[in-house]
Structures are given as structure tokens and as C-alpha cells.
Amino acid sequence: MKFFVDTAEIKDIRDLHATGLLDGVTTNPSLIAKSGRQFKDVIKEICALVPGPVSAEVAATDYEGMVAEGEVLAKIASNVVIKLPLTLDGLKATKYFSGKGVKTNVTLCFSANQALLAAKVGATYISPFIGRLDDINVDGMDLIHDIRAIYDNFDFETQILAASIRSANHVTQAAIAGADVATIPPAVIYKLADHPLTKSGLEQFVKDWKSTGQSIL
């Protein structure tokens, strides 16, 4: 499974990219607002830093506006992915960009039927929001399973991009369910490597090594 980081903070992206774990980046209007910077400047800097897909979301809600904004965003860098909402206008815009060979990420997916529509119009990625479904007492991971089954039934090429991930367990469950990608907040990515037995084991190894009085260098 590919790992995208869900942030617009350049330092976090740079640090995670250096680990070799990062395959791409997703942003959204809320993350851009939190960064306090100009949208296009942030996207340009991220694209220069990370060679993988970088999702940049349109602000318009009508078809003509989405197309106009998407055309501008696509010119920023070759690895920009146009992020579009899962509305009828958003699907229409997705079809437009897919027809031009421009990658798209259809966001705010909360049902298997929505995911089916996104695949039919040629979306590169579909972003089901796991955490937000959990928030209303619906098991978000069931949606990943359902989309995986539908896409496999019909050999759709759209990739499942598990989004709204809140915990390390979400990442594990999404991988088991067959998500192609997980877009993860930086803090959760760091937690993936944490385990108390790893920590205690390493502390013991260090203690035992020091007792030998040796040096590898």
C-alpha cells in the first residue's frame, strides 16, 4: 500500500520524504488555511519536493469553475492531481480531466455508489472518508471493503485512497481491506513505527552493548 501524507506543512513533508516512506501528498482547503500561506505557492513547493502525486483541490463548486481552476492547478507541475468533490458537477469535471489525461482525486466519498460513479468517469483516485463515517457510528472500514469488491468485480482502474485516517489501526485495517493508498496525518505515520516492546528491547540492547566496553568505529 502506498503512503501519502495529508498535510500542507512543508517541514513535515520534507522530514517524511527523507525517510523513504512517502509516495505522495494530499492537501485540502482546510490544510491550506491552517498553513497560512498562498495556495499555489504551497502546491508548487510540495511538487518540487515530492516527485509523487500531489493532490490540489479546486475551490469552485460548479462545473465551469472546477474546470477553470483545475486547468490552472494542472499547470503548476506535472505531478499535480486535481482534487474534485463527489458531486454531479465534480464527476462531470472528473470526466473532463480524465479525458485529457490529467490525474484526478475524487474526494468526500461516503458510499459505495458514489465510488462506483467516480470509477465510471475515470477517476484516478477515490477518497472514502473513514474517520468521518466512524464519527457518526458507521464503520468506515466497511466502505473500503465494499469499494474493493465492486472495483475488483469490474476491473476498474481507480485506486482506493483511504482518507480521514485517525489512528495507526485505521492504516492496518485499510491495508487488510485492500486500499491501494492511505493518506495519513504526519503524527499517525510516526506512530506506525512505535511499539513498547521495540523501545524496551532497544534500551536493553544499548545497555548490554555499553557493558562490553566495545566500539564498532
Enzyme catalytic residues: 83
Bridge partners for 106 per DSSP: 84, 126
Q: What is the distance, to the nearest Å, from the Cα of residue 189 to the centroid of all Cα atoms in its chain?
A: 12
Cell 490540489, located at residue: 56
Cell 485505521, located at residue: 170
